[in-house]
Amino acid sequence: DGIRGAVNQEHSLSITEIVLLQPKTVPKTSSGKIARSWCRKAFLGKTLKVIYRKAYRGTTSTFEIEQKDLTKEQKLTSEEIRILNKKDILLKLRADITKTGGVSPDAIQENVVMATLMDSLTLSQFKGLLEAEYYVKISDEYLFRESTTVKKLVEVVRLGYAPDDGDGSGAASTAVGNSGGLAGALGCPPGVVCTIL
């Protein structure tokens, strides 16, 4: 989970599987470069000399996340969410993080930074879930911050807003001056380079 978190944090990429190979067994070209197409074929054909393998999620991509079929009695109201105790909010958040991000429930500790649990696309999807099911308004950048932990998110859900997010209403993401210039105005998440063609 440490490798997965480091890659997510540094490159905003979602890792579905980690494979460690025996030393000096990676296919290389005659010039000594890694032969990526040969590696891909060997990976798919399961012919790599693997010493460790860990899969994080099945064949589901982040675009195929199932939408919950909630009826009115299943979906909690804003008032019902606010009166939940912290333990119940944490359990509900853990379940939603696991489902949305394909993260192992064991990896979701209270002090873990949200940006290390999910890639940028999944964090954006999770923000939508927070707004729709937890009635929380936060800025686009809030979940990408190093200070946003699962424990902090429990408090945010309990309050209905993030006190440390501008004016607490999520409005900080719409102000061009506070959102990283043109990239922020276009809605690009922090750490992502947006190109206008």
Mean confidence (pLDDT) of the chain: 78
Residue 52's identity, in one-letter code, is Y
pLDDT of residue 196: 58
Is the confidence at residue 195, as pLDDT, over 90? Answer: no
Q: State the DSSP string of 55-109.
A: E-S-S--GGGPPPP---TTTSPPHHHHHHS-HHHHHHHHHHHHHHHH---GGG--
Note the CATH number of domain 68-185. 1.10.1200.10
Mean pLDDT, rounded, for 30-47: 89
Q: What is the pLDDT of residues 85-130, one digit of tens each?
A: 999 999 999 999 988 888 888 888 899 899 888 888 888 899 999 9
Is the confidence at residue 176, as pLDDT, over 90? Answer: no
Tokens of 171: 């409005």
Confidence of residue 189 (pLDDT cuts 50, 70, 90): low
CB 114 within 8 Å of CB 156: no
Query: Residue ranges per domain, the chain?
Result: 17-55, 68-185
Q: What is the pLDDT of residues 39-91, one digit of tens each?
A: 889 988 989 999 988 887 644 444 444 444 444 446 888 889 989 999 999 99
Is the confidence at residue 153, as pLDDT, over 90? Answer: yes
Confidence of residue 188 (pLDDT cuts 50, 70, 90): low
Say how many C-beta atoms besides its own lie within 10 A of residue 99's C-beta: 14
pTM above 0.75, yes or no: no
